[in-house]
């Protein structure tokens, strides 16, 4: 019954804001628009379609607002006007009552709240669609921030996701661009992100990993997680004291070097992406603070991006090729990485990339947004059958956030000048002799286990005859080392690597 009522409300909002134009754009049902417009004559649909879409999502509630926010990051799929308008969505949700927060905490810990915390502030300091935050003091006197999931939020999300899937199916069948926009895949992606955000243990683990990555850095501070108080519905972490990044006047009054702060933000981003392959993917102003020493403070770790070593290497090569305006290399990297189909003609892709980038490079570099360069490339890539990688879309969205924050702090910030030397230095470490030594060091435990087995495996391989038993043995050996079809070649590589490592160890010691 509740789902039916919710569906009726959605239909009412869709008709009220004239979103039926998306549904009835298909030739088979286009004729229905005329009688529907006559029937709904009193409605006002004079505003642009993107504005009406944003207003409808705001009317449908926080889960739909969050869906719109996620959609705004998929600029590879959406028309520009809609993506720009959805980016304006603000997730400002009234807090749930304090008695519900207390009941949730007492049910979680199985004891009265006064036995869990020394003190607990009933008034929340922040509230969003999925959770809200209260300040508290732990029994040992440590100041903490307590994040709580909204009561019943899982059930609400399940209902809304089910309805979104129905809507996605209809859009794909009835809207002209439905199949190209892949609404079903978008809803599944949104469901995955929401499920991740509903597990606060996962978010705490993300924060803990980011804190460990920057343990020796004076650029970024991440709160400590108090694991003895954390559950899937409650996350308790160190309380941080900082100034919201949007309050630039207050930050400047605290004596912070704004230009250096902006440059540090760019360095933090590239460090997360290329050094760690693990980056904070929700860096909007509400999740970033600055302390009086000019150190960034990261908050809210529900959305984190990851990159493989292969992604990092190809991405860095792409960035450096862009900096050097080497469009042929950009095209080659796209094909080598598998981002573009193997049959793609390099010269055609190179020409398309040049068409996108040359007008941008005619501007002063400090006026160039690399996030928007990536966006234009995503849009251009459609004609070559390039499917944009999800991790790259998340990266592009984060890069736009970082650029926006950096330029808000320092309009004179040259993002390219700041990034280029850092990337070139990183590439030297990865592909130069230092990268070779680093790879040997990381593979040393594997070599130590494999080397003693090689003589026995070689003997078995060379002495195997045509008998069934030996054939089975050969098959097992080949299966065990399926990535190395020629054991002789493997032996030579192993012995050479071992020899090099012994030389390095000798000179290091």
Token pair recorded at residue 259:
């230009």
- H or E element that contains 408: helix 390-409
Task: Give per-residue burial for 459-482: e unless 16+ CB within 10 Å, then b.
Answer: eebeebeeeeeeeeeeeebeeeee
Tell me if 335 sits within 8 A of 439, measured CB to CB. Answer: no
**Whole-number Cα distances in Å, 463 to 456, 457, 472:** 11, 10, 13
DSSP, residue by residue, 71-121: HHT-TTTS-HHHHHHHTT-----PPPPHHHHHHHHHHHHTS-GGGT-SEE-
Name the residue among 441, 432, 434, 418 with its Cα closest to residue 271: 418
Given the residues 282, 300, 311, 410, the one annotated as active site:
282
Q: How far apart are CA 206 and CA 217, in angstroms?
A: 18
In this structure, the dihedral spanned by the alpha carbons of residues 21, 26, 27 and 33, taken in order and rounded to 10 degrees, is: -20
Residues in CB range of 475: below 8 A, 6 or more apart? none
What φ, ψ does residue 438 adopt, rounded to 5°? -60, -40
The reply to whether 465 belongs to the active site is no
Q: How far apart are CA 122 and CA 135, in angstroms?
A: 8
Token pair recorded at residue 39:
């029937």
**Whole-number Cα distances in Å, 164 to 188, 191, 210, 284:** 10, 10, 33, 26
Name the residue among 383, 373, 387, 392 with its Cα closest to residue 315: 392
Tell me if 376 sits within 8 A of 348, measured CB to CB. Answer: no
Name the residue among 212, 197, 208, 204 with its Cα closest to residue 235: 204
Tell me if 414 sits within 8 A of 323, measured CB to CB. Answer: no
Tell me if 22 sits within 8 A of 171, measured CB to CB. Answer: yes
Question: At which residue do the structure tokens 């003190």 appear?
Answer: 119
Residues in CB range of 275: below 8 A, 6 or more apart? 213, 426
Which 3 state secondary structure label does DSSP give 234? strand
Tell me if 320 sits within 8 A of 430, measured CB to CB. Answer: no
Tell me if 407 sits within 8 A of 356, measured CB to CB. Answer: no
Question: At which residue do the structure tokens 């030594």 appear?
Answer: 437
Q: Which residues are catalytic?
A: 282
């Amino acid at each position: 019954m509740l789902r039916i009522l919710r569906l009726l409300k959605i239909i009412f909002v869709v008709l009220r804001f004239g979103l039926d134009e998306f549904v009835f754009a298909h030739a088979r049902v286009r004729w229905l628009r005329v009688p529907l417009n006559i029937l709904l004559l009193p409605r006002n649909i004079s505003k642009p379609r993107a504005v009406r879409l944003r207003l409808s999502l705001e009317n449908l509630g926080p889960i739909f607002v969050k869906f719109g926010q996620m959609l705004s990051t998929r600029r590879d799929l959406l028309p520009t006007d809609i993506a720009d308008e959805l980016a304006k969505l603000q997730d400002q949700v009234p807090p749930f009552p304090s008695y519900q927060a207390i009941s949730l905490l007492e049910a979680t810990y199985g004891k009265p709240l006064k036995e869990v915390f020394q003190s607990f502030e009933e008034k929340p300091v922040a509230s969003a669609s999925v959770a809200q935050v209260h300040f508290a003091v732990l029994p040992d006197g440590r100041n903490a921030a307590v994040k709580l999931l909204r009561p019943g939020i899982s059930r609400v999300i399940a209902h809304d996701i089910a309805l979104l899937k129905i809507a996605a199916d209809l859009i794909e069948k009835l809207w002209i661009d439905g199949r190209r926009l892949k609404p079903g895949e978008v809803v599944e992606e949104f469901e995955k992100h929401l499920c991740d955000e509903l597990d606060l243990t996962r978010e705490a683990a993300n924060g803990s990993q980011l804190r460990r990555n920057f343990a020796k850095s004076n650029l970024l501070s991440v709160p400590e997680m108090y694991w003895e108080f954390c559950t899937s519905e409650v996350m308790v972490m160190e309380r941080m004291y900082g100034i919201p990044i949007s309050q630039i006047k207050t930050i400047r009054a605290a004596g912070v070097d704004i230009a250096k702060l902006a440059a540090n933000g760019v360095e933090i981003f590239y460090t997360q992406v290329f050094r760690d392959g693990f980056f904070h993917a929700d860096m909007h102003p509400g999740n970033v603070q600055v302390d009086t020493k000019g150190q960034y403070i990261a908050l809210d770790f529900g959305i984190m991006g990851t990159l493989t070593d292969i992604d990092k290497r190809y991405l860095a090569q792409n960035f450096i090729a862009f900096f050097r305006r080497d469009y042929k290399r950009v095209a080659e990297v796209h094909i080598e990485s598998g981002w573009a189909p193997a049959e793609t003609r390099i010269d055609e892709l190179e020409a398309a990339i040049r068409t996108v980038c040359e007008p941008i490079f005619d501007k002063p570099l400090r006026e160039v947004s690399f996030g928007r360069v990536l966006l234009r490339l995503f849009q251009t890539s459609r004609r070559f059958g390039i499917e944009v990688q999800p991790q790259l879309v998340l990266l592009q969205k984060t890069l736009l956030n970082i650029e926006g924050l950096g330029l808000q702090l320092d309009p004179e910030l040259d993002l390219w000048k700041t990034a280029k030397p850092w990337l070139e230095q990183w590439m030297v470490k990865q592909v130069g002799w230092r990268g070779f030594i680093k790879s040997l060091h990381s593979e040393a435990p594997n070599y130590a286990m494999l080397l003693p087995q090689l003589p026995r495996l070689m003997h078995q391989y060379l002495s195997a005859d045509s008998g069934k038993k030996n054939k089975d043995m050969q098959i097992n050996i080949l299966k065990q080392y399926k990535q190395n079809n020629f054991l002789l070649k493997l032996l030579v590589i192993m012995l050479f690597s071992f020899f090099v490592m012994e030389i390095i160890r000798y000179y290091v010691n």
